[in-house]
């Protein structure tokens, strides 16, 4: 069985990479939303049809921010449940006499951690997909303008 340091070492590097990826996607969606708001405020009256593409793009980027927020929240929940799992599995440095009882007590925290990690990955991928949809919509509006 792996030690606490081995489990946390492997999990920390993955969670750090996942966190950085979510931050990049969140920043992209935020920049897209800010760009769409700025573009909506600078549209000339002769190009009013462009608003029909910029408004949906702004909504798409806002949805991407919402998905990023959910992904980051689920990632933090996953990390918290991972720490809870390890605390129940290894309550002290001194081993417990009955290891099977420890594993049974720690299993719900492990399942919750894995479940929240799946939700985090799903929200992160959805936020990335939404970013590209918003980008294509904004690019189409730029080409038409």
Each residue's pLDDT tens digit, 105-116: 778 888 999 999
| Percent of the chain whose predicted confidence (pLDDT) is above 70 | 86
**Under 8 Å between Cβ of 42 and 17:** no
Identify the weakest region by mean pLDDT among 1-15, 29-43, 58-72.
Answer: 1-15
The per-residue pLDDT for 125 is: 96
Beta-carbon contacts of 33 under 8 Å, excluding residues fewer than 6 positions away, are 58, 61, 62, 64, 65
The per-residue pLDDT for 95 is: 55
Distance of CA 71 to the CA centre of its chain: 3
Q: What confidence category does residue 2 fall into, taking pLDDT thresholds of 50, 70 and 90? A: low
Q: What confidence category does residue 98 fall into, taking pLDDT thresholds of 50, 70 and 90? A: low
In 3-138, at which residue ranges do the beta strands (DSSP E only) sit? none
Q: What is the distance between the alpha carbons of residues 9 and 29, in angstroms, rounded to a whole number?
A: 30
Domain extent, residue 96, equals 4-144
Q: What confidence category does residue 100 fall into, taking pLDDT thresholds of 50, 70 and 90? A: low
The per-residue pLDDT for 33 is: 94
For residue 56, give both structure tokens.
Answer: 């949906």
* DSSP assigned state of 98: -
pLDDT digits (tens, 9 = 90+) for 44-91: 767 777 788 888 999 999 999 999 999 999 999 999 998 888 887 776
The per-residue pLDDT for 108 is: 85
């Amino acid at each position: 069985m792996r030690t606490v340091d081995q489990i946390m070492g492997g999990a920390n590097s993955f969670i750090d990479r996942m966190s950085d990826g979510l931050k990049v996607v969140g920043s992209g969606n935020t920049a897209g939303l800010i760009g769409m708001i700025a573009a909506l405020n600078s549209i000339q009256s002769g190009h009013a049809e462009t608003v029909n593409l910029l408004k949906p793009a702004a909504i798409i980027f806002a949805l991407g921010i919402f998905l990023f927020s959910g992904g980051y929240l689920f990632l933090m929940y996953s990390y918290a449940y991972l720490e809870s799992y390890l605390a129940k599995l290894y309550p002290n440095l001194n081993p417990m006499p009955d290891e099977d009882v420890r594993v049974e007590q720690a299993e719900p925290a492990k399942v919750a951690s894995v479940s929240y990690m799946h939700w985090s990955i799903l929200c992160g991928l959805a936020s990335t997909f939404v970013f590209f949809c918003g980008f294509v919509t904004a690019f189409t509006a730029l080409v038409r303008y």
